[in-house]
Structures are given as C-alpha cells and as structure tokens.
A and B are shown apart, each in its own frame.
Chain A
Amino acid sequence: MEFSEHIKTANVEDVVLRQPLHPPLRGTLCITGHHLLFSDREEDEGRSSGQVLLLLRNIDAVEKRTSGSSGTITIKCKDLRVLQLDIPGMEQCLNIARSIETLSCLDCVSEMFPFFYRPSELNLQDQWGLSSPEEHYRQATELHNRWRLSSVNRDYSVCPTYPRAVVVPREISDDMLVKASRFRQGGRFPVLCYVHRKNGMVIVRSAQPLTGANRKRCKEDETLLQAVIGGSDKGYVIDTRSAQQAQQARMTGGGFESKSCYSQWKRLHRHMERGKALQESLIKLVEACGDESSNMDRWLSKLENSKWLSHVQTALSTAGLLAECVERDGRSVLVHGSEGTESTLLVSTLAQLIMDPGCRTLEGFLALLEREWVQAGHPFQQRCAHSAFSHARLQHESPVFLLLLDCAWQLWRQFPLALGFSEALLLRLADEAYASSYGTFLCNSEQERSVAGVREKTHCLFQALLRSRHRDSYCNPLYERTELAIWPSVHPQSLQLWRGFFLRWTPQTRLLEEAQEEIRNMIVEWEKLVMS
C-alpha cells in the first residue's frame, strides 16, 4: 500500500489552525498516511498544547474555500469537533484537502491505522479481548445443566455474523441448529445472551424468522424455542418492529413467530427506528447543536424535531419492558427485529445493564459490549463509516452504537451511584467506534476480523482501556454496587440531551468535565488519607 501516492503535499509551513476552546495557532501542517499533524512554530519544551495529532479516519467532511493565493480548509470530525486550517498557496491547499478526502475514507481494512499502531507499552502478544464465548460459558456454571456450548459455527459457515461458539439449549443438536439457522435471516438462529441469576430466566436473541408470504414453518426452530422455556408455560417474544412492519416483512421473505406455531410464546411489538432514520436524526441533532446563528429561540423545537431523544426514550423503554418480563414477570424472552444486529443488540444490552450489577462495573460493561456488540456481529465498519457531517451519500451508516452509549449515559445520570464507569468512558467509546488506533471496532463480524488478522496484528481497545494510566478517569468515584435493578424513568422530562457529547466542544461542557475531574480527585485524596 502506498499512501504516498495520495500525498502530493506532505508539509506546509505557516498554516493557521483554528479549533474550539483554543486560541488560533500558527505552525507547520503535515499529512501522513493516517494522521494530520500540526505543530506550533514556537515550540517550547514541555508545551504540548501547540501540537495537534488527528487521526484522518476521524475526519467526516472536508470543505475547502480558496481566495486569491491562499485557501481555507474546514475539517469536521466524527467526534463533532470542527477545525479550520488557513493554508498559504492555493495548490497546497487543494492538495491537502484531496489527501484528507482520500485517506480519511480508505475502505481496505488492512490499510487502516490499527494495523500500524505499535505503542511501546503494548505488546501484540498480550491477551486480545476480555473474554471468549468459551470462557464466558465456562464461568456461567449455573447454565451448564440446561445449556451447552456449540461450535457448530466454528468455520462461520452456519452464520457468518456469529462468533465461533454460541450457547444453545442442551437438548438441541448441532444438526438441528443448522436447520434452524436456515429459517432465520442471515442464519442468526436463537442463541443465549443472558441468564438472570435471581430466577434462572434467560434472554435469547436472533434474527427474524423467514416465514414469508406462505407462512413457512420450521420444526427445529420451534423445538429450539420450546427448549428455551423448558418446563415453563410461557415466554415472551419482543419484536423491535411494529406489528404492521412485521406483517409487511413477510412479503420480502421475513416474518414473525405466529401464535399458532409458537403457542407458548406471547409476542410484544415495539417499534424502534433504525438505519437511515436514526442517521438522519443524528444529522438533524448535530446541525441544531452547531447552529451558531443568534436566534436560539427555537432550540427546544429543533431538539424535538431531531427526534433523537425520542429514540433514546424508545430504546430505554423497550429495554425496560424486556427487563420487566424477565425480572418482574419471571419469563424468558426472545428478542429480535429483522436482522438482529441493531435494535436487538441495543435492547438486550440495556436490559442487562438494568438488571445485572455485574454488567455495571467498568470491566463488566466493557465485557458486555464485547459480547453483545463485537462478538454478536454489529457491523461497526458499515454503521460508523461516517457520522453527522459527511457529504457522502448515506449507505449503511447508522448511529445505533452511539444511541446505546447515550442510553447508558441516561442511566448513569439517573443512577449516579449504580454504574462503575464514568462519562469519560462513554465519550472515549463514542470516539473509538468511529475512528480508532485499536482493532476492536474494525470490520463487521468475527469472521471478517479473523480473515483480516485483527487479533494478531492490532491492539485491543478494551485491554488498553483497563490497563491505561487513565483507568481511574474511566471509573465513577461515587460508585456503590447495588444488587437491585435500576429502572430508568423514560418520560421526556427525565431524559436529557447528552451535552457532554453533543455540545462537547463548548467551554461550558469543558468546565463541567473539569469539575467532574476535580470531584474525582477530591474523593480519591480523602480516601487515601483517611484509609492510611
């Protein structure tokens, strides 16, 4: 791979950089294969503020404007930062802009920065990831009676988006799984994702059944689901589509679990927005947040019109419904939408946060994300290719993962003591999902990661976060473990805009961040002395 062919101008002197929260800087701009580097001219030792290192992948949109012999490039980042570069020399300006445009959206995974990132403190031989499906199963001994670990998908042939090993009812053979997989979109047959220790009920997730217009049936699928509820007389299916959408899906080969074929299962439909609608909502919200016009009278209407907060509300209330089925009603639940890689994961993850104290620690939360998003096959590369500023035509982009982080933030705000991680962690994850030096969020599935050699050739974000010098800042200093479920209030009055993310580059948000840091330091200092 020759990045140099995309770099006509690698260095420009006398560039002025304007970025939020900082005074303008004059200095040298440098483009490499993966980074934009700016360094202040008068570089005193120890004064690092004059340096900006930006991952090109983080750049969502480039806008150039030339006037006379110089030009201005506006860089809009996926972390919602907007930078401006005043570059002397029109040709240089155009060259730089073209390089950024090309290098910021490389398609080939192996050309991406994580494959080149070799920090001295990390070793490629270090453990990759926090836990494998095998280990996770091994530790969940309470499952072993009724559930087994199947490696039917060991070569990803049964379901290309599942991991090699999945947990399924003990009495269902691999042959039956293969047959059941043909009845579910993308081969995503029902697999276990959570067992509720208090009552032994489980959450199972899948893709939609391929009943089609002719109301096809699949005996193995029905048996599999029967085995999920075992001796119990009833389970719930939470379908993240409206009843009407589920009906319509039959026309294109999809469908739902009909009452007659799955008599023990009660279906509950909750319409959740996905795909393009979510992406458009994000774009509208970011536009409203960045609106510099003096007329702010309509801010609340704009916020409402973006519908982002209503997506947050739907996600949290559907997750609440799921948790209610399991915890309060004492039933097992199957959750799916259509493909089972978006809203399905959103809801199952949030329900686990609500019910399971083990998921609310820093490690527990990262492990949850690894299981429910990375290993479960959320297509990060497609969904996070672009964010809200991009001028490119929308393809598969959708901020589902960002929505998850926002919902987690709402929980964090409503239950300031119950979650072991901090807002800083959520912000970091939001950044890393869109542009990262680590391999964790690369590719769309475990299979793709395996082909690309992600494990062997990149570093793992989760491991790095846990070992980081900044680990403390990812912890919540007020955290106190509670065994109780944390039921979020989902009324619009209880939900807030996640200012820390959406208004991140404003001075006020920065002040709040500093105050939170101060509070953390304070508590740490008190405890240190009092315990000594």
Chain B
Amino acid sequence: QDAQEKDKAVPPERAEEAKLKAKYPNLGQKPGGSDFLMKRLQKGQKYFDSGDYNMAKAKMKNKQLPSAGPDKNLVTGDHIPTPQDLPQRKSSLVTSKLAG
C-alpha cells in the first residue's frame, strides 16, 4: 500500500516547481533558458546616457540632481546616475587577510 502511495506522490522537483509558479505566476514559459543566459552574459553592464544626464543638469540648473536611493544600481524614471553615485572602483590596497 505504501508503494502505491509513493507512485502517486509528486516528485519533489515538480512540487517545488508548483510552489514557484504559485508565487510567480508570470514566470517565463521556457524552463531555464534564455532569460538566465542573457542575464549571465550581461553581467557588469552599466547604463549611462550622457544626453539624458546633460539635459537633466540643464533642466535643474539651480537645484540638486536627485541622488541615488539605497540601491545605487537602480536606474529608473527621473533618476539619472551621476558621477557621485557611481561606486568607486578602486583596487584593494590592503593585503589579503589570508597573508596576515
């Protein structure tokens, strides 16, 4: 009787898939697939439009440009990334702690 029940049980992967689809009904139809791959290929891509930046600066010549919220990578709406917002990419001048 136990064996029969096991056959009817949903394989764990399918059960997990059902959970995910319940949370995110609009999740891509293609399993795995291009979305992940495109995201992987675009790692490191930063977007900055100098035209938008200069126009925004001109429009608000007397005001402060809106500064980045907590998520500095978020570029939406009126927020134009400014040089002050970009995280400083300095190399590590500190020796690795493995060598300490």
Report whether chain A binds chain B.
no
Q: Residues of B at under 8 Å CB distance from A?
A: none
